[in-house]
């Protein structure tokens, strides 16, 4: 068997990334299905959410790709994807594989690691299910599977990348809405696509990549129309490690207060006893 099975170069040490273009997404959910197929994830059941055609609702322990159906108030007689009316959009969500990842920083067992492709990988054979990563992700991606006991999230198809294959979701996408490749190339592609769309008068198009916060950028770029809030993307996601300094400072202050308090109280009580005070 040949070393390389895929049709493009994946070099270890070179960061790879997704570029998800919501303007070419048709909401077919092929990525959701492909992800579940390749990774052997369980089905989500037959729940009806009532939120447009989105019955998946969010990413979770068994849902690593999620197609959002962004439906705003319909404007009768108009609608469609006219540049003036933001009425219906689709966007495939995924783990952001942050440059500085909250889950990775928080993991106490070393189960979460940074791969040679720059992605964040959760090793299921190490995870002991402490669930601290779940509350440390500013994007609400990681979730503990209560039945299994461990936490799960998108693997970035590290197994496929290792043999030169693109992730299952990108491969299954019929409209190239999900593209995959070297991070810099994807950033260029995103910028080019944005320029094309803005040229066509789509003034509300923008690239979501929070490089301005402690997350320092993501490895899953999104081209969206309108505000990120509409897509459940936080405008200013922060890695929780930024609170470490304040937290430990408070702990140190309180620790010394305990030490000084206990020492002072027992010494004062002893000298009081000697002086005959018995309160």
Which among 232, 227, 179 is positioned nearest to 58, based on CA atoms?
Answer: 232
CB closer to other proteins out of 196 and 264? 264
* Residue 79 lies near other proteins (rule: CB under 8 A): no
Longest Cα–Cα distance of the chain, Å, equals 92
Which among 55, 56, 66, 59 is positioned nearest to 22, based on CA atoms?
Answer: 66
* Residue 45 lies near other proteins (rule: CB under 8 A): no
* Residue 50 lies near other proteins (rule: CB under 8 A): yes
Q: Which stretch binds other proteins (CB under 8 A): 114-122, 169-177, 180-188, 266-274?
A: 266-274
* Residue 275 lies near other proteins (rule: CB under 8 A): no
Taking CB under 8 A as the criterion, the residue among 3, 199, 229, 275 binding other proteins is 229
Taking CB under 8 A as the criterion, the residue among 17, 31, 106, 223 binding other proteins is 106
Taking CB under 8 A as the criterion, the residue among 6, 11, 49, 192 binding other proteins is 49
Q: Which stretch binds other proteins (CB under 8 A): 159-167, 171-179, 215-223, 246-254?
A: 246-254
* Residue 68 lies near other proteins (rule: CB under 8 A): yes
CB closer to other proteins out of 35 and 239? 239
Distance, in Å, from the CA atom of 116 to the CA atom of 33, rounded to the nearest integer, reads 26
* Residue 174 lies near other proteins (rule: CB under 8 A): no
* Residue 5 lies near other proteins (rule: CB under 8 A): no
Q: Which stretch binds other proteins (CB under 8 A): 12-20, 154-162, 176-184, 234-242?
A: 234-242
| Shortest Cβ 76–other proteins spacing (Å) | 4
Restricting to residues 130-169, name those near other proteins by CB under 8 A: 130-132, 134-146, 148-151
* Residue 210 lies near other proteins (rule: CB under 8 A): no
* Residue 25 lies near other proteins (rule: CB under 8 A): no
Q: Which stretch binds other proteins (CB under 8 A): 13-21, 37-45, 52-60, 182-190?
A: 52-60
């Amino acid at each position: 068997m040949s070393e390389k099975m895929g049709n493009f170069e994946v070099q270890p040490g070179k960061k790879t990334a997704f570029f998800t273009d919501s303007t070419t997404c048709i909401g077919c959910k092929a990525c959701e299905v492909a992800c579940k197929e390749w990774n052997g994830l369980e089905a989500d059941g037959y729940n009806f959410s009532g939120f447009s055609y989105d019955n998946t609702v969010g990413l979770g322990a068994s849902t690593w790709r999620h197609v959002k159906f962004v439906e705003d108030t319909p404007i009768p007689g108009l609608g469609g994807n006219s540049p003036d009316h933001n009425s219906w959009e689709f966007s495939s969500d995924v783990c952001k594989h942050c440059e500085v990842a909250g889950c990775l920083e928080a993991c106490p067992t070393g189960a979460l690691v940074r791969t040679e492709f720059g992605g964040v990988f959760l090793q299921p054979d190490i995870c002991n299910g402490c669930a601290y990563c779940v509350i440390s992700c500013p994007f609400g991606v990681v979730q503990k599977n209560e039945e299994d006991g461990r936490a799960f999230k998108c693997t970035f198809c590290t197994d496929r990348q290792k043999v030169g294959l693109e992730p299952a979701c990108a491969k299954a996408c019929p409209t190239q809405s999900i593209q995959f490749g070297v991070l810099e190339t994807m950033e260029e592609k995103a910028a080019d696509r944005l320029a094309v769309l803005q040229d066509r008068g789509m003034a509300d198009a923008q690239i979501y990549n929070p490089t301005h916060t402690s997350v320092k950028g993501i490895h899953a770029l999104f081209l969206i129309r309108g505000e990120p809030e509409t897509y459940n993307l936080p405008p200013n996601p922060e890695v929780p490690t930024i609170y470490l300094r304040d937290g430990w400072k408070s702990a140190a202050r309180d620790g010394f207060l305990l030490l000084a308090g206990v020492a002072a109280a027992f010494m004062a009580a002893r000298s009081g006893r000697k002086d005959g005070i018995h309160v």
